[in-house]
Structure 1
């Protein structure tokens, strides 16, 4: 068995690492668009409701069970019932697949950090991103066309990830989180502060916050709010569970949950201010309405922002590098968390050291990620992202919620958690939420995601979705069936 000390050096290390996991690319390029397209100011009503009845309660549940078992996700589910070991591997493997494609986005952004010092994307950022950088092809034959620049940038990212992750938990991830997460917030404050001074900023903010109260009766806005919280707080991804299993015995997990949810919410709403201030400036300069400019995902980061920097003047040479460095930090803090669940599970079952496990996983991940360094890579990335986030993970969240709340019996955690809580106390209200409300709401969001994929998917996407699903299911089956090498795989000391 591994003798590594998988424990946070302090409660602050845990909080900052969890904030770093939650605060990621989705806060910068997804949330502002979701807020804008779902009623603006009116969206805050379902958003706050989603945080209160899903985000915080579910995180408390994950933290509580993780802290109780003080083991990996797969080991804990095996302890609850051996028939659930498959799910115990399914979620960590799915999250590792997220890490693999996140490395491609990190690689793209690394290139843009250097490009931003001299606006290397030229006069047409769209053409640069799609043609010059990605060499994007809509045909799967593009898989045979390799893009060396992207591959090199991705490998640099993998080396950084290995350098941090292979060390003992506190010496690596713990220390880095104490630097990266505060730096991420400070730089975002600078960017937003400058953005608010731009001519036209008020135009963008007016568009963002203009409330469309009629949408509150639309089920779609509520599904968008709950979906945003699932993705934003990394609910049910086994990350929160794993991080909680690393905490010290006196951790106040309820108070920590509130702190993490609040920090994540503040960051993504603060980021929205910067995004729409800049879009307002762009609208004023170009005469194009904000509604025709606003987008999400890679289009916002790698096309819209460079277009703005092209007309921003000398300030672009300061704001540009700051922005892309912020995106890199956000991606890095998130990607570091996505390897932990699978790594800890492997350490627990096969008795490998943390250093060896991380090294093997990062080599495997780096090799697999090279599919995204092809001309068809951006298409594959979209297919994998859609399948993992809208189908695989949400199903896992539903099952995890049911297992933790019903099979494990969430009520066992109440006295245990309340004894350490300095803020709110858990009671029947929490049990009602995690046993009844959460499974229903997340199931509805999951069904909505499936319908959306089926209705919008192309033939190529459906084919790749089947392939991706097969890879996920087979990899999970292999981990489940392989015999345990650790003598205490079936031995877990519970705290409640």
Structure 2
């Protein structure tokens, strides 16, 4: 077997890192963002979502108030920003989506791309259910009297029975809630037309969808700060408790929040970055976007807890009795709070419009990333824009049909399975470890820095490279192991235990994405061995 044949076999497993865009055959010309602002707004719309409003403030007060920023900032600078920059720069350098970028950089780790796209597919299926709830609440806000004002203390029960029609378990799915199903259809139609013509459409839509939530957030913030009891709510949000830093769960929460809110390890940032001009300064963009994301989370806490402080004062309750996280904050606690204000319909409308736009941005960017990734795998076929639109339509229709199961009377149980297992934090941590090792050591941190210098004209601060090689994989590994040790099976509302087959479905959700990586590595190694034996013999 001569040297040329040996290098051919090696190339099938790992790309040696030549300038990709100039050494390979020319692909069909790729669309690009019309300008930098479109890219900035698209990424901002994706990462600044519902988690900034309903998860970060709750975690902050739960984990020691102001001291929570210590582990949060540590994870931000050692994991969040480095991974964010890594994925965006990969997309910009290769001009490829979440799978084919790994095929060009390091084919051995192409399974990372497949696994991340499975996560994106699952996320798109269940995340849009939140928009269906928000639309139903928005339409209810136009009534002469708000439903949650009528039921007052029975509102939690009302929410589950009226809005969700909740059954007594996952084994009793019940009927489809057709009002929710129509709201779900509306959400999918909006999502489709936001991205139906690729980045030409997306780039224009984000001018409104990415900026309007900020306007609503400022309006709600100003209103909240003028309410009686707002100061108590903010103190509750930020009052420091240094003793909480000794609790490992606080650090776990900080790390998980970074992964959830920065959209890393899903390939979405890679797809969005792939539409950049080659010489765009993605390093500067990424740092500014990450800081904007964290600042938005911080400010959102003031908007939320000022209103919760008002609600607690009006009802004579401790703030801990009204503070909730996740959908409970958006669809139970906050609506009850605005119902106590003057002009409650107005503030409810403002709030749910903000929720819809925050969710819609994230949702259609997930779909854009998925379509981009598949299109890049078959560029000749999807160069025809009609084929791309049909692909998007097929994904949306299929996801809508799956989503119908989650708007049944037992749909919330299935929604929680998707949230807990299909988009598992442990899966994202595993992907973070692998892609850091891949770029930092297998492909080479210095080689990636050379690629970045070729794009932006200078080498970024070396700290990023050291994070890829040392800090990010080490911290993510510790967090991953801690997650395994602290793992507890999902309980709906902390009381309902799923049947064994419910947990089995959840396990299949997780394995369907994580197993993509080792299976692909095994496939490539066996293929390389087969080629070696063929040439050797």
Report if TM-score (shorter chain) is over 0.5.
yes
Cα distance in structure 1, aligned partners of 2:191 and 2:434: 30
Compared with structure 1, are the counterparts of its residues 359 and 480 closer, same or farther at alpha carbon in structure 2 (3 Å cutoff)? farther
Which moves more between the two structures, 112-121 or 244-253?
Answer: 112-121
8 Å Cα contact 1:24/1:331 also seen in 2: yes
Match of 1:137 among 144, 164, 167: 167
Cα distance in structure 2, aligned partners of 1:309 and 1:51: 33
Tell me whether 1:324 sits opposite 2:352 in the alignment.
Answer: yes
| TM-score with structure 1 setting the length | 0.90
Which segments of 5 or more consecutive residues in structure 1 lack a partner in the other structure? 482-496
Name the residue aligned to 1:346: 374
User: Tell me, what secondary structure is at the counterpart of 1:407?
Assistant: helix
Cα distance in structure 1, aligned partners of 2:83 and 2:393: 32
Cα distance in structure 2, aligned partners of 1:278 and 1:411: 49
After superposition, give the CA deviation of every residue in 1:57-97 in whole Å (9 maximum; x if it has no partner): 22111122221211122112223344433322110121121
Which moves more between the two structures, 318-327 or 346-355?
Answer: 346-355
| TM-score with structure 2 setting the length | 0.84
Tell me whether 1:164 sits opposite 2:194 in the alignment.
Answer: yes
Deviation at 1:416, TM superposition (A): 4.2
Compared with structure 1, are the counterparts of its residues 418 and 35 closer, same or farther at alpha carbon in structure 2 (3 Å cutoff)? farther
Name the residue aligned to 1:303: 332
8 Å Cα contact 1:8/1:169 also seen in 2: yes
8 Å Cα contact 2:169/2:413 also seen in 1: no
Deviation at 1:452, TM superposition (A): 4.1
User: Tell me, what secondary structure is at the counterpart of 2:400?
Assistant: helix
Name the residue aligned to 1:85: 110
Cα distance in structure 1, aligned partners of 2:520 and 2:77: 36
User: Tell me, what secondary structure is at the counterpart of 1:145?
Assistant: coil
8 Å Cα contact 2:118/2:513 also seen in 1: yes
Deviation at 1:106, TM superposition (A): 0.6
Name the residue aligned to 1:463: 504
Over the aligned positions, Cα root-mean-square deviation in angstroms equals 2.6
After superposition, give the CA deviation of every residue in 1:210-259 in whole Å (9 maximum; x if it has no partner): 00012223332222212111111111111111111110122111110111
Compared with structure 1, are the counterparts of its residues 415 and 80 closer, same or farther at alpha carbon in structure 2 (3 Å cutoff)? closer
After superposition, give the CA deviation of every residue in 1:316-343 in whole Å (9 maximum; x if it has no partner): 1211100010000000111112123321
- Structure 1 residues 246-395: aligned runs within 5 Å: 246-314=275-343, 316-350=344-378, 351-352=381-382, 353-387=387-421, 388-395=423-430
After superposition, give the CA deviation of every residue in 1:176-232 in whole Å (9 maximum; x if it has no partner): 111111111111101111100000000101111100012223332222212111111
- Structure 1 residues 108-127: aligned runs within 5 Å: 108-118=133-143, 119-121=146-148, 122-123=150-151, 124-127=154-157
User: Tell me, what secondary structure is at the counterpart of 1:73?
Assistant: coil
Compared with structure 1, are the counterparts of its residues 244 and 425 closer, same or farther at alpha carbon in structure 2 (3 Å cutoff)? same
Cα distance in structure 2, aligned partners of 1:381 and 1:414: 41
8 Å Cα contact 2:192/2:364 also seen in 1: no
After superposition, give the CA deviation of every residue in 1:160-189 in whole Å (9 maximum; x if it has no partner): 01111111312x111111111111111110
Compared with structure 1, are the counterparts of its residues 361 and 261 closer, same or farther at alpha carbon in structure 2 (3 Å cutoff)? same
Name the residue aligned to 2:77: 52
Cα distance in structure 2, aligned partners of 1:9 and 1:383: 39
Name the residue aligned to 1:487: none
Deviation at 1:468, TM superposition (A): 2.4
Cα distance in structure 2, aligned partners of 1:237 and 1:447: 21
Cα distance in structure 1, aligned partners of 2:521 and 2:205: 32
Match of 2:177 among 116, 141, 147: 147
